[in-house]
């Protein structure tokens, strides 16, 4: 996915207590009691709490700001921002983490510090997601997944420390681009470890794309979904059914054949839909696009 050119930050201490405190504080800022029922009616403006983490509500107005944070538009109740950005005060904040591939600009760091965690083909060459020029991370063995969990887990700790309420680990579907080197089971196992880490930190965790793993979302530990172009691929209902409408869905301007008006008419009453520009530019930048249903 598009995003700022970031390098892995310094290691951080585990912050489970701080993460839970930020969750409870955000609940108060959002105007909801921490004693709320586990689920609320569809379309509620307030999050709900379950299993020690704060869940988003179906229908929360949402903005996808992983390119760069900016003042949320009026009415927005939830945002997703890069892990190096600050959360938006008083809103439900989802922390973007590129968990299964290298973030653009960070490949050299991986090559210098963890070359064995980069996925390679039979000739020893890096396997690259050509769409975003990101090298795939190697989740194929338990030992490598353990190492990756320590690295990515530190970033998740940082999300909690910064005051986010949830995390979205991107590129869960990297197995599709792995030239057969990775399987669904490999990535599901890594995602399970990340879900455990997020929950220890008091964070909810969102499934990012790939309907192939929807049937395993409970076993993995996912709490909600963040999807890209589910309308274009006729997948929105599948996510909505799996997550009781707790779905943040991003459509991109000029991509696909389904108009945003059609998307809203079909799914706007079930999930949180937003139209963004492909480069997820901040407000005021040329080419910035933001619309909701």
Across the range 197-209, mean pLDDT stands at 98
* Residue 264 in domain: yes
- The four Cα atoms 165, 194, 220, 102 give a dihedral, to 10 degrees, of 100
pLDDT (tens digit per residue) in 113-138? 999 999 999 999 999 999 899 999 99
What is the secondary structure of 61-117 as a DSSP string? -EEEESS---PPPTT--EEEEETTSPPPTTSEEEEEEE-SBPPTT-HHHHHHH-GGG
Q: How far apart are CA 253 and CA 289, in angstroms?
A: 7
* Residue 166 in domain: yes
Range of the domain at 148: 16-292
Task: Indicate which CATH number applies to the domain containing 119.
Answer: 3.20.20.70
* Residue 11 in domain: no
Q: How far apart are CA 254 and CA 68, in angstroms?
A: 21
Total domains, the chain: 1
- Does the pTM surpass 0.75? The reply is yes
Distance of CA 260 to the CA centre of its chain: 22
* 176 pLDDT more than 90: yes
- Average pLDDT score, the chain: 87
Q: What is the pLDDT of residue 51?
A: 60
Q: Which of the residue ranges 48-62, 137-151, 246-260 would you say has the lowest mean pLDDT?
A: 48-62
Q: What is the pLDDT of residue 52?
A: 80
pLDDT (tens digit per residue) in 5-42? 333 432 233 333 344 444 444 443 444 332 232 333 33
């Amino acid at each position: 996915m598009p995003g700022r050119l970031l390098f892995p930050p310094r290691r951080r201490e585990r912050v489970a207590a701080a993460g839970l405190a930020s969750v409870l504080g955000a609940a108060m800022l959002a105007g909801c009691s921490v004693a709320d029922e586990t689920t609320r009616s569809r379309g509620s403006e307030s999050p709900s709490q379950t299993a020690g983490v704060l869940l988003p509500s179906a229908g929360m107005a949402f903005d996808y700001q992983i390119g760069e944070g900016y003042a949320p538009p009026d009415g927005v109740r939830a945002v997703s921002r890069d892990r190096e950005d600050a959360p938006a005060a008083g809103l439900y904040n989802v922390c973007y983490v590129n968990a299964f591939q290298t973030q653009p600009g960070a490949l050299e760091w991986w090559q210098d510090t963890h070359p064995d965690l980069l996925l390679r083909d039979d000739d020893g060459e890096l396997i690259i997601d050509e769409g975003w020029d990101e090298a795939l991370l190697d989740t194929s063995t338990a030992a490598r997944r353990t190492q990756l969990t320590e690295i990515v887990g530190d970033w998740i700790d940082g999300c909690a420390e910064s005051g986010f309420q949830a995390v979205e680990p991107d590129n869960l579907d990297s197995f599709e681009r792995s030239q057969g080197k990775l399987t669904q089971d490999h990535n599901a196992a890594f995602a399970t470890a990340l879900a455990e880490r997020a929950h220890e930190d008091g964070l909810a965790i969102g499934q990012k794309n790939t309907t192939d793993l929807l049937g395993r979302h409970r076993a993995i530990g996912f709490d909600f979904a963040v999807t890209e172009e589910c309308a274009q691929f006729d997948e929105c209902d599948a996510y909505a059914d799996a997550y009781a409408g707790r779905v943040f869905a991003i459509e991109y301007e000029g991509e696909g054949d389904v108009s945003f008006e059609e998307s809203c008419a079909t799914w706007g009453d079930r999930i949180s839909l937003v139209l963004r520009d492909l480069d997820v530019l901040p407000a005021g930048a040329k080419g910035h696009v933001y619309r909701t249903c």
